[in-house]
Amino acid sequence: MSEVDRQFTGPEGCQFEMVFRNPAATPQELRVKAVGCSCFSVKREGQKLKVGDVLTLADGQAVSLILEAPRPTIPKTTDYNYVMESLAGDTLAPVKLECRGTVKTVADLSLNPSLLQTSFGRDDAPQKIPFEIVRTARTAEAALTPPTVTGWPANASWGPLVSRGAPVEEQGLWTHRWTTVVEVRPPQGAHLTDQASTLMIRCSDIPPMPARMLVRLNYGLSAPALVHLSRVIVGVPASRRIQVRSRDQVPFRIVECQGGPAVTTRIENPNAAATHWIDLIASPSEAGEWEQRVTVKTDHHDTPALEIQMKAFVALSEPGR
């Protein structure tokens, strides 16, 4: 029995053909001995094979098996291992045929930097960040498909997209590069916080790819946007202490904390300071998913108010009672 073709092939990228041939003048049997991982399957004519299944090959016959793997969601390298044995007859020991393959998955679109990140002081000028997109495809024409980007926040803009050279072919895949400059301006408005945005990069022939953009401020106030209390029991108050701080160390006062009927607050220091601690105390009266918004008002000139979302799962009693 000949060994499997060492080079997996498959136009779909996640289906790979393995060919077994019987060079003998008599029929031989193949038995599935082991499958290295449940993350893939091997099929013959669409039928999934399991450990113990036997295939009979006539003299000179070849059989094609298809290894199917789920399409990865991130670029990575995956090793596959599939073991069969040839049953040559009652008097001969089975011959093990071990099929190994390595599949490298590359991104349709890759970004550099993968996270557009910047920070601003109060009087900083706009910043310009070089940005590169690399398109990988199976044809040069597809690699040349120009990407578009949507989802920009009001304080950022995308410069002209510049094509860099011609597509380059390597190991059956074509890549092409574009560069541009992203201009980011300091956020404006009354409620200034760190700003996280999701940009969507699209080419016409592939699903859109999200990219992240993070703008940090070196001024204004910082506080958690979400407080999750996990499991809370009806009638048993649950509290969480949060910190509100001035990024530029300018002292400020907490003027007021406003929560709903199921939330009380306690301000540790009524005087001006660069850092404040606030106790948020939740007392939900009904079981189920619970959430409440808390507004923290301050006399800070950059951030007169902060919004904090509280969430919890509320149960009637402790488990087992």
Decide if pLDDT at 105 tops 80. no
Span 156-176, pLDDT tens digits: 888 898 999 999 998 788 999
CA 21/CA 6 separation, integer angstroms = 13
Span 216-248, pLDDT tens digits: 888 888 899 899 998 889 889 999 999 999 988
**Per CATH, is 221-315 categorized as 3.40.50.2300?**
no
- pLDDT value of position 238: 92
**pTM metric for this prediction:** 0.58
CA 69/CA 252 separation, integer angstroms = 57
Residues in contact with 263: Cβ distance below 8 Å, sequence separation at least 6, in sequence order: 280, 281, 282, 283, 292, 294, 310
Span 107-161, pLDDT tens digits: 788 888 888 888 888 788 999 999 999 998 888 998 998 888 888 888 888 889 8
Domain boundaries 15-104, corresponding CATH code: 2.60.40
Domain with CATH 2.60.40.10 in the chain: 109-217, 221-315
The residue written with tokens 């996640």 in the block is: 14
Section 193-204 average pLDDT: 81
> What CATH number matches the domain at 109-217, 3.90.1150.10, 3.40.1360.10, 2.60.40.10, 3.30.1490.100?
2.60.40.10
